[in-house]
Each structure stands twice: as C-alpha cells, then as structure tokens.
Amino acid sequence: MSKDTTASGPAATTTDEFIKGLWRENPVFVQVLGMCPVLAVSNTAENALAMGLATAFVLLMSNILVSLLRDFIPKQVRIASYILIIATFVTVTDYAIQAISVELYKSLGAFISLIVVNCLILSRAEAFASKNTVGKSILDALGMGIGFTFALFCLGAVREILGNGTLFDWALFPEGFQNWIVMILPAGGFFTLAAWLLIINVIQTRKIKS
C-alpha cells in the first residue's frame, strides 16, 4: 500500500505525532489514501466537512480501541479484527448522522457506510495504533483526521465556489456569475484533486530546490 509511516525518527516528540498528520504526512495530499469513499460527496463544502468529520471520528475511535486491544489481538486475525472494529464505529456513525439531520443523511447516503473501506483508517490501525500506546494513537488519529478533513474541505470548497457560486450556501458572486457546473460533476472532483496535487507537487519541488 503506502509508505510505512510508523513513528518518525527516534526522538519523535508527542506533538509531532499530532502535527505530522496535518501536513507532512497528510492523508490526501501526501499519502493519497482513502479518498475513494469521499470524493463523490465532496461537491459542497458542507458535505465534504461532514464526511471528513465522520471519517475522523471513526478513525479516532478505532485507533483507540485497536491500541487498547493491541496485546490481545493475535497477529493472524488482526486485519479481520480491525475491519470488524472499524465497521462497528461506522455503523454507529451512520445512526448518529441520521439522528442529527435527515437532509444531511440524504446527501451523504450510502457513502457513510463506505467509510469502512477507507484505506486510511485500516492503514493507521495497522501501521500505528497496533504498535503504540493509546495516548499516541489518539494524537495520531486526531492529526490524520484533521488533516484529512482539511484536505476534503479544500476540495469541497473549491467545487462549491466554482460550481455553485456559494460557500456553505452563502452566495459569493453577483448574479451574472456563470457557474462552472463541471465542478459539481464527478469530473470536477477528479480535476480539483488533480489540481491540488499538482500545486502540492510544485511547492514540494521548490522546497527541495531551495
């Protein structure tokens, strides 16, 4: 799958476990993990934020549980156990969202259940939570979760602003603005993500050069 991202370096500080998820090892922009279930519902800022937070919540809870049980789960059944744990929290999140808002649930629909196959959560459980303390796992989950939500928000915001002329349903442009409908369509999702990755690439290359 992706590069192994266990605790970086011998003297990794506690705060580093949190910060790495935000930018340096950002799940979407750097690791390019776990976008499948979320790209389809990132066509508005609100949906993207909701999906990001839902995923972050599942990541947090599963990291905690996996870390708590890490000595209890034998090697051979670890993947099956992780998936079972993740599926449990996804189901819980599904009901939570239904209880929060019918409208939101209708927009996100079956994609909430798809969080269970989000490669990111499984990868963090396998690469980090199963090998670290609960405290560190919490920080890792929080960092990755916030980084993930942030990246999703970048996607959703751009798509909504260009494709609908609004942000969180607040009109941003005067009447005459022609919406770039393509942005709300799936194709727009691909283009927006590609554009962001391109920009990140440019930034990284500049950093290396200087």
Partner 1 sequence: MNTESLGTIFLNAALVNNFVLAYFLGICPFLGVSGAVKTASKMGVAVMFVMVISSMCAFGIHAFLAAINAPYLQLISYIVVIASTVQLVEMFIKKMSPSLFRSLGIFLPLITTNCAILGVALFQTNKGYGFLESIVYALGAGAGFTLALLLIAGLREQLNFADVPQISKGTALTLFIAGILSLCFMGFAGLGAQ
Partner 2 sequence: MSTKAHTPKQEAASSTKMLRAMLGIGILSAFLIVSAFELTRPRVERLQAEALEKAVFNVLPGTESIRAFGLNAQGELVDKATGENTEYTCYAGYDQNENLVGYAVEAAGQGYADIIRILYGYDPKEQVVIGFQVLESKETPGLGDKIEKDQRFLDNFKALDVGLTPGGELKNKVITVKQGEKQNPWEIDGITGATISSRAIGNIIGASTSAVVPMLHGQSPPKVETEPKKNQ
Note the residues at the interface with partner 1 (CB under 8 A): 1, 32-33, 35-37, 39-40, 80, 83-84, 87-88, 90-91, 94-95, 109-110, 113-114, 116-119, 122, 182, 185-191, 193-195, 197-198, 201-202, 205
User: Which of partner 1, partner 2, none does residue 85 bind to, with CB < 5 to 8 Å depending on kind?
Assistant: partner 2
- Residue 15 Cβ, how far from partner 2 at the closest point, in Å? 29
One of 2, 7, 16, 88 touching partner 2 (CB under 8 A)? 88
One of 1, 95, 187, 202 touching partner 2 (CB under 8 A)? 95
Q: What is the CA radius of gyration of the chain?
A: 18
DSSP run (H or E) holding 14: helix 14-19
One of 81, 118, 130, 192 touching partner 2 (CB under 8 A)? 81
Is residue 96 within the footprint of partner 2 (CB under 8 A)?
yes
CA distances from 171 to 15, 36, 175 (A): 39, 29, 9
- Closer residue to partner 2 (CB): 84 or 198: 84
Is residue 43 within the footprint of partner 2 (CB under 8 A)?
yes
The beta-strand segments (E) located in the chain are 166-167, 170-171
Beta bridge partners of 166: 171
The beta-strand segments (E) located in 25-172 are 166-167, 170-171
Close Cβ partners of 32 (under 8 Å, ≥ 6 residues apart):
2, 197
Close Cβ partners of 139 (under 8 Å, ≥ 6 residues apart):
14, 15, 17, 18
**Residue in the block written with tokens 């839902």:** 54
- Residue 101 Cβ, how far from partner 2 at the closest point, in Å? 8
Is residue 89 within the footprint of partner 2 (CB under 8 A)?
yes
Is residue 168 within the footprint of partner 2 (CB under 8 A)?
no
User: Which among 13-21, 101-109, 145-153, 191-199 is the span making contact with partner 2, rule CB under 8 A?
Assistant: 101-109
Is residue 75 within the footprint of partner 2 (CB under 8 A)?
yes
* Angstrom distance (rounded) from CA 94 to CA 112: 6
Is residue 99 within the footprint of partner 2 (CB under 8 A)?
yes
One of 7, 19, 22, 87 touching partner 2 (CB under 8 A)? 87
Beta bridge partners of 167: 170
